Structure 1
Amino acid sequence: MSRTVGIGNQDFSVIRTNNYFYIDKTGFIKEWWDSGDHVTLITRPRRFGKTLTMSMTEQFFSVHYAGRGDLFEGLEIWKGERYREIQGTYPTISLTFANVKEPNFEMTKQRINQILTDLYNENIFLLDGSLLTDQEKEYFKSVRPDMDEVTATMAIHKMSDFLSRYYRKRVIILLDEYDTPMQEAYVSGYWNELVTFTRSMFNAAFKTNPYLERAIMTGITRISKESIFSDLNNLKVVTTTTDKYEDSFGFTEKEVYEALEEYGLYGQKHKVKRWYDGFTFGKTKDIYNPWSIINYLDEKKTGAYWANTSSNGMIGKVIREGSSRVKEEFESLLAGESIVTEIDEEIVYNQLGQKENAIWSLMLASGYLKVKRYEAGGDEHGGRWRETYELELTNFEVKIMFQNMVQDWFAASSSSYNDFLKALLSRDVEAMNVYMNRVALTTFSYFDTGGSASRESEPERFYHGFVLGLMVELSDKYILTSNRESGFGRYDVMLEPKRDDLDAIILEFKVFNPRKESNLEETVEAALEQIKRKQYSASLAAKGIPEKSIRQYGFAFRGKQVLIGQGDCPE
């Protein structure tokens, strides 16, 4: 009989006590302990078992779980007597920032202060007796939701001191989802304030802390050393490209196939592989997203389970507001192609809008991209060392997620956007103009960064995003290809029909140039002339599409104003 799948359970003891579905990952404890690393930062995509791993690690080491070896009986870690002897013997501080998702710095600070206050309330027994001096007791009582920043940034350090004296043993600190507040700070615009606060806290907790035995931090990204880890030279960083703990997070293909067999779903393994396989950690490939797998075992049908567990707000923001080149490469990814770029695993959030490869680094760390090929080296004359990655979308589930994200870009004008598509398919140029102008008016500024982008680049950001929308919305009817140039050059789009009853469509986008044109009508004519001069229809005709079935449109942009004109087509 198959085990019950307990969806959403991240408490190790609950899963073990109730015999819920669980794949043994306790080998991580042995590997980590044997490494001797003082402070370990492990980055993995969301919903990859980080929180459950931290719960497992806490309940193995914490003195609060002394005598609870039953939780680990029959698992890998319990095979070694040496490890059985240390179970439940360390004072442990376990914190999570997973729910710190506030819109401004003050609220974020209050939320972190509350987490620290809860930590002190859990250890209120330390105020009894003479372990703490009167001054230390005053500090203890000063840890409150409204405490000042100095008190807050020292709170973990001071609790380490108190607990190590009480138990006469240095402490283990576990901090889950350390970077969640940082991501929210980037999206909401209070990055610099939070960096200063966090850097002080982490320095006190993990660097200048003589009461620390070992520590683990988990997160999605490796935030740059210069941002918050500048003083932590004792930090061991384990990213998705690192060999350590390769199979400790996520499910291997062998583990997935065994689970499918247990639940009578082995015959669906090829469908499951297409949807959920594709992650690579270190040199280990064919890692599956555990959240989607356990939901599939429970529901017994495929779905975008992992993709739908968060808003993906930061990813959506950096792509939507990204340069034309970013959108072009994203277009290639959605089309099933790959991109080649350099990757810097130290994410510099305030560079996401400036350095294009920072976006792909973020998407790789977040699990949305996988490495197809990797090359490293410098030239023979000692040139700059380069690490080049060929990247592609991780799997079908990720593709579905991004298609939904692009659709959401036009949610505010969904009625006008859908009406535009209907008008395009039905050859109604007048309606196309009406609805396209409504779409542009509503969503134009949505594609702007609100800061560094120049006014001239705004139309380009918009129509690159618009092309992605066409690609997603018309994917069942057309194959979209584009022949583009960066800057204000051409961006022609070809829609090749998948059915014989549909026309082929060529779209040419141009921004009004007052040095060359006196009005938008002339810009439209220039766009249509370029279609004709460049013979864009030739490739479609070569595929057997009759010339009378190839429609041509010129799109002229001036600010939020759009004019669309149709070229002559032989009847």
Structure 2
Amino acid sequence: MSKIYPIGIQNFEKIRRDGYFYIDKTALVYQMVKSGSYFFLSRPRRFGKSLLVSTLEAYFEGKRELFEGLAIEKLEKDWTKHPILHIDLNTEKYESLESLENILNDTLYKWEKVYGTEPSETSLPLRFKGIIRRAYEQTGNRVAIFVDEYDKPMLQAIGNEELQKAFRNTLQAFYGAIKTMDGYIKFAFLTGVTKFGKISVFSALNNLIDLSMDERYAAICGMTEKEIHDNLEEDLLELAGKQKMSYEEVCRELKTCYDGYHFVENSVGIYNPFSVLNTFFKMKFGSYWFETGTPTYLVELLKAHHYDLHCMTHIETDADILNSVDSASTNPIPVIYQSGYLTIKNYDQEFATYQLGFPNREVEEGFMKFLLPFYANTDKVESPFQIQKFVREVRSGDYESFFHRLQSFFADTPYELIRDQELHYQNVLFIVFKLIGFYVKAEYHTSQGRIDLVLQTDAFIYIMEFKLEGSAEEALSQINEKNYAQPFAADPRKLFKIGINFSSLTRNIEKWIVEE
């Protein structure tokens, strides 16, 4: 293997000194540091935010030797060494206010060992301000401040309003120290997954330039198609050989699986860097980003808001909503978008609205697999096998087994989940058919109150009509009356018309009728 891939390595110095593969982002780094002092960037997890922070840190430490051969080497002339204050909120599990205070206290204590302390500095913000001032006075150079995963405590407290308020008040005052010490600060950079709204953590720090939806910085994290072809061409050829695919097929599969992130309208598509590097390291495709864990707060949000999962395939929203997660989290969409499970698909300039959708197959399939155990009667271990069985049954024409299995998905569903029964039943069907649709062709024709579905395999076509509190006979006659089978009249495959009724009394599929 010609390259050492930096999987899980977020330290720029380690990557450069130990000869790991690196895509040069330093021209953008230079552009940023020369254009302002206070910046914020939100990107999904495992997208290279920590590496970007580490790169900026090395630059402000004046470590010119690490940048040899990179774009910034020719651009920067000074290489001044600045004192660095780096806060990483990624390491703690935030279950109480003490956990946040402990990590801030520990960070301040380490800095105080270097820059000293004053007896009057009794609170966390006062200690932080004192450290900034002394770091400048003792070195003669202004300070560079980095906050990695600033929102971790807030995200872990989603759903617990009291704790979130406590975290917010503590962080607000703490970050507020940065603004009051402007004369001592050269540069400050904060990153996180989400951007909490104006009224929250940043209200005291309202001088931040937000790069999250700035087209110039769309590619500052992640990989573009051009970067992949410029840096990983040999690897693509090797992957094609290992997977017994043509070069074109491999490029297409890589794009389908991992491309498709758009952090701003009409911008270049971004590939998930973590998944791409893992694919080349293992020389096979996989759900790498998903395997590192999806936060359960996303599901809690969807369930708490009785969200119609169907809507996730065609959400329309505006920049204000996308850009801001309110601390009460009354809308699950901004959190899901900023966490990387949805991305910008289209932009309507006239109304300034964004259309959102899943970025790629890895995310869409992974998210549906992740949701299934939370909605249906199946556990995390079993659910992938259940989907395999569904697909086999559909491919072999065994609709009886298929519907019995579907019945088991609705059985024993916790009562609290089914406050809105119709929605729950639609959500389960949506997840199941979406997952089956990755392996057989599925088309949905939906209107209020029902899911109509066409499933197609090499040998069979299934046309299904679902009714809630109607009858299976009614559903079947609707298929015939509305000529749903008409488009397949000349098709040689065997066609099944299936009417299905769902009963609110049994909270399950009550009956299905099949006409061949």
Q: TM-score, normalised by structure 1?
A: 0.76
**Contact 2:260 2:269 (C-alpha < 8 Å) held by counterparts:** yes
Equivalent position of 1:105 in the other structure = 96
Q: Distance in 2 between matches of 1:256 and 1:270?
A: 13
- 1:197 Cα shift? 2.0
Deviation at 1:174, TM superposition (A): 0.5
1:373 to 340, 346, 352: 346
Structure 1 position 180 matched with structure 2 position 152: yes
The Cα of 1:555 is off from its aligned counterpart by: 0.4
User: Using the alignment, how far apart are the partners of 1:437 and 1:400 within structure 2?
Assistant: 22
Report the counterpart of residue 58 of structure 2 in structure 1. 59
1:468 pairs with 2:449: no
1:127-526 correspondence runs (5 A): 127=116, 133=118, 135-136=119-120, 139=121, 151-187=123-159, 190-207=163-180, 210-239=183-212, 241-263=213-235, 265=237, 267=247, 268-282=250-264, 284-323=267-306, 326-330=308-312, 333=313, 338-343=314-319, 344-350=321-327, 352-353=329-330, 355=331, 359=333, 361-377=334-350, 386-410=351-375, 413-414=378-379, 418=386, 426=398, 432=404, 436=407, 439-445=410-416, 447=417, 455=419, 458-475=420-437, 476-477=439-440, 479-485=442-448, 490-501=449-460, 503-508=462-467, 510=468, 523-525=469-471
SS in 1 for 2:284: coil
Q: Tell whether the 8 Å contact from 2:158 to 2:329 is kept in structure 1 after alignment.
A: no
> What's the offset of the Cα at 1:541?
4.8
C-alpha displacement at 1:223, in angstroms? 1.2
Higher Rg: 1
Question: 2:102 is matched by which residue type in structure 1?
Answer: N
Alignment-derived partner of residue 244 in structure 2: none
1:396 positional shift: 2.0
Structure 1 residues 547 and 564: alpha-carbon distance in aligned structure 2, compared to 1, 3 A threshold: farther
Change (3 A) 1:299 1:187: farther
For residue 532 of structure 1, what is the aligned residue in structure 2? 477
Following the alignment from structure 1 to structure 2, what is the Cα–Cα distance between the partners of residues 235 and 275?
A: 34
Q: What amino acid is the match of 1:341?
A: T
Deviation at 1:430, TM superposition (A): 13
The one-letter amino acid paired with 1:294 is L
2:83 is matched by which residue type in structure 1?
Answer: P
Q: Amino acid of the residue matched to residue 314 of structure 1?
A: Y
Task: Give the SS at the match of 1:493.
Answer: strand
Q: Give the residue type in structure 2 aligned to 1:160.
A: I
Other-structure match for 1:517: none
Contact 1:327/1:465 (<8 A) preserved: yes
Distance 1:406 1:528, change over 3 A: farther
Partner of 2:503: 556
Contact 2:459–2:494 (CA under 8 A) maintained in structure 1: no
Residue by residue over 1:42-71, the C-alpha shift from the partner in whole angstroms, topping out at 9 and shown as x without a partner, is 122222211011111112213xxx5x3211
Q: Please report the RMSD computed on the Cα atoms of aligned residues, expressed in angstroms.
A: 3.5
Query: Structure 1 counterpart of 2:474, which letter?
Result: E
Classify 1:472/1:291 alpha carbon distance in 2 versus 1 (closer, same or farther; 3 Å): same
Which stretches in structure 1 are left out of the alignment for 5+ residues? Answer: 143-150, 378-385, 449-454, 511-522
Distance 1:298 1:188, change over 3 A: farther
CA distance in 1, matches of 2:233, 2:403: 55
Distance 1:437 1:270 in 2: 37
Distance 1:201 1:440 in 2: 50
Per the alignment, residue 451 of structure 1 pairs with none
Question: Which secondary structure state, in structure 2, belongs to the residue aligned with residue 285 of structure 1?
Answer: coil
Instruction: Name stretches of at least 5 consecutive residues in structure 2 with no aligned partner.
Output: 239-246
Moved more, 246-255 or 469-478: 469-478
In structure 2, what is the equivalent of residue 382 of structure 1? Answer: none
1:187–1:294 Cα change, 3 Å: farther
Could you state the TM-score of these two structures normalised by the residue count of structure 2? 0.83
Contact 1:483–1:493, Cα closer than 8 Å, also in 2? yes
CA distance in 2, matches of 1:71, 1:498: 55
In structure 2, the partner of 1:543 is 488
Tell me what 2:110 maps to. 121
Count residues in correspondence.
493
The aligned counterpart of 2:23 is 23
Distance in 1 (alpha carbons) for counterparts of 2:224 and 2:403: 52
Picking from 83, 87, 98, the partner of 1:91 is: 83
Q: Following TM superposition, by how much is the alpha carbon of 1:218 offset from its aligned partner in structure 2, in angstroms?
A: 0.9
Q: Do the aligned residues in 1 keep the contact of 2:476 with 2:497 (CA within 8 Å)?
A: no
Q: CA deviation at 1:423?
A: 9.8
The 8 Å contact of residues 50 and 218 in structure 1, kept in 2 or not, is answered as yes
